[in-house]
Structure 1
Amino acid sequence: MSRKLVGILVMAYGTPDHIAELPAYYTHIRQGRPPSAAQLEELSARYQAIGGSSPLGRVTRAQADGLAAELQARFPDTGFRSVVGFKHARPFIEDAVETLVAQGIRTVIAVVMAPHDSGSGIRPYFDRAAQAAGALGLTLRPAVSGWYRQPGFIQFWATRIRTLLSSLPLAESRRTLVVFSAHSLPMRVLDGDPYPTQVRESADLIAAAAGVGNHAIAWQSAGRTPEPWLGPDIRDVVRDAWDSGAYRNFIVCPIGFVSDHLEVLYDDDIECRSLIETLGGRYLRPPMPNADRGFISCLADAVAGSLGQTERIAA
Structure 2
Amino acid sequence: MKAQVDALLVLSFGGPEGPDDVMPFLERVTSGRGVPRARLLEVAEHYEHFGGVSPINARNRELISRVRDELAAAGVELPVYFGNRNWHPLVEDTVARMAADGVRRALVFATSAYGGYSACRQYHEDIARARAAVGPDAPELVKIRHFFDHPEFVASAAEAVRAATAELPEEHREQARLVFTAHSIPTAADAAAGVPAEGGHRYSRQVAEAARLVAAELGVDDYDLVWQSRSGPPSVPWLEPDVLDHLDTLHAKAVPAVVTCPIGFVSDHVEVVWDLDNEAAERAAEHGMAFARAATAGQDARFAQMVVELVREHLAAVPARALGTVPSAGGGRNGEPCAPDCCLAAR
Same fold (TM over 0.5): yes
Cα distance, 1:133 vs structure 2: 3.4
In the alignment, is residue 174 of structure 1 matched against residue 161 of structure 2? no
Counterpart Cα distance in 1 of 2:64 and 2:169: 39
In the alignment, is residue 259 of structure 1 matched against residue 267 of structure 2? yes
Which runs of 4 or more aligned residues in structure 1 lie more than 4 Å from their structure 2 counterparts after TM superposition?
32-37, 166-171
Percent of aligned positions that are identical: 28
Counterpart Cα distance in 2 of 1:102 and 1:173: 54
In the alignment, is residue 305 of structure 1 matched against residue 305 of structure 2? no
8 Å contact kept, 2:168–2:291:
no
The structure-2 alpha-carbon separation of the partners of 1:29 and 1:165, relative to structure 1 and needing over 3 Å to count, comes to closer
Q: Secondary structure at the match of 2:291?
A: strand
What letter is aligned with 1:271?
E
- Partner residue, 2:114: 116
- Partner residue, 1:234: 243
Structure holding more helix per residue = 1
CA RMSD of aligned residues (A): 2.4
The structure-2 alpha-carbon separation of the partners of 1:263 and 1:158, relative to structure 1 and needing over 3 Å to count, comes to same
Cα distance, 1:38 vs structure 2: 2.9
Cα distance, 1:5 vs structure 2: 6.5
8 Å contact kept, 2:5–2:315:
no
- Partner residue, 2:329: none
The structure-2 alpha-carbon separation of the partners of 1:253 and 1:243, relative to structure 1 and needing over 3 Å to count, comes to same
- Partner residue, 1:149: 149
What letter is aligned with 1:255?
I
Cα distance, 1:37 vs structure 2: 5.0
- Partner residue, 2:325: none
Structure 1 residues 57-68: aligned runs within 5 Å: 57-68=57-68
The count of corresponding residues between Structure 1 and Structure 2 is: 304
Normalized against structure 1, the TM-score is what?
0.88
- Partner residue, 1:75: 75
Q: Secondary structure at the match of 2:42?
A: helix
The structure-2 alpha-carbon separation of the partners of 1:24 and 1:170, relative to structure 1 and needing over 3 Å to count, comes to closer
Counterpart Cα distance in 1 of 2:138 and 2:53: 36
8 Å contact kept, 2:6–2:78:
yes
Cα distance, 1:157 vs structure 2: 1.7
Normalized against structure 2, the TM-score is what?
0.80
Deviations 1:98-133, CA, capped at 9 Å, x for gaps: 111121111110111111222343211122214533
The structure-2 alpha-carbon separation of the partners of 1:168 and 1:119, relative to structure 1 and needing over 3 Å to count, comes to closer
Structure 1 window deviating more from structure 2 (166-175 vs 17-26): it is 166-175
Cα distance, 1:303 vs structure 2: 2.6
8 Å contact kept, 1:66–1:291:
no
- Partner residue, 1:20: 20
In the alignment, is residue 284 of structure 1 matched against residue 292 of structure 2? yes
Counterpart Cα distance in 2 of 1:130 and 1:7: 17
Contiguous gaps of at least 5 residues in structure 1: none
Counterpart Cα distance in 2 of 1:53 and 1:116: 26
Structure 1 window deviating more from structure 2 (287-296 vs 248-257): it is 287-296
Deviations 1:225-251, CA, capped at 9 Å, x for gaps: 231111111112221122122x11110
What letter is aligned with 1:237?
H
The structure-2 alpha-carbon separation of the partners of 1:102 and 1:238, relative to structure 1 and needing over 3 Å to count, comes to same
Structure 1 window deviating more from structure 2 (196-205 vs 5-14): it is 5-14
- Partner residue, 2:185: 185
Structure 1 residues 2-151: aligned runs within 5 Å: 6-31=6-31, 36=36, 38-76=38-76, 79-133=77-131, 135=135, 136-141=137-142, 143-151=143-151
Structure 1 window deviating more from structure 2 (125-134 vs 292-301): it is 125-134
- Partner residue, 1:268: 276
Counterpart Cα distance in 2 of 1:208 and 1:198: 15
Cα distance, 1:166 vs structure 2: 4.9
Structure 1 window deviating more from structure 2 (168-177 vs 223-232): it is 168-177
